Amino acid sequence: SQTIHQWPATLVQPVGSPLSLECTVEGTSNPNLYWYRQAAGRGLQLLFYSVGIGQISSEVPQNLSASRPQDRQFILSSKKLLLSDSGFYLCAWSLSGRTDTQYFGPGTRLTVL
């Protein structure tokens, strides 16, 4: 069966510091991968999605970036965090070619001080 991991689970970072969140999927090949952000009490905002290694689509222009160095690894990064980057970050995957259902990771709670 497929599983999705995210780490770290929680992170507290000062403004201006870099960020690296990692997401890995097990049990499937060439998944579609997604990064979402959820502000407190709000809905999901799609940040990036990837349909293959090196293929990244950005939905929201901001100081975040994403990379997919390996087939089942998706990384969210920032060179300098802003206060507004605080939130709950969710990674998700769906089957390549059959993108009918998304499955989510446990999430990372990021607090920027």
Partner 1 sequence: AQTVTQSQPEMSVQEAETVTLSCTYDTSENNYYLFWYKQPPSRQMILVIRQEAYKQQNATENRFSVNFQKAAKSFSLKISDSQLGDTAMYFCAFRTSGTYKYIFGTGTRLKVLA
Chain positions contacting partner 1, by CB under 8 A: 32, 34, 38, 42-44, 46, 49, 51, 57, 59, 88, 90, 92, 94, 99-104, 106-107, 109
Q: What span, in angstroms and rounded, lies between the C-alpha atoms of 105 and 25?
A: 9
Nearest distance, CB of residue 37 and partner 1, angstroms: 12
Nearest distance, CB of residue 110 and partner 1, angstroms: 12
Q: What span, in angstroms and rounded, lies between the C-alpha atoms of 90 and 97?
A: 22
Q: What span, in angstroms and rounded, lies between the C-alpha atoms of 79 and 65?
A: 9
Token pair recorded at residue 65: 């970036």
Tell me whether residue 17 or residue 99 sits nearer to partner 1 (CB atom). Answer: 99
Tell me whether residue 16 or residue 106 sits nearer to partner 1 (CB atom). Answer: 106
Nearest one of 102, 81, 90, 86 to 16, comparing CA atoms? 81
Nearest distance, CB of residue 57 and partner 1, angstroms: 8
Residue keyed to tokens 């999705």: 4
Tell me whether residue 7 or residue 79 sits nearer to partner 1 (CB atom). Answer: 7
Nearest distance, CB of residue 99 and partner 1, angstroms: 6
Nearest one of 11, 25, 23 to 88, comparing CA atoms? 11
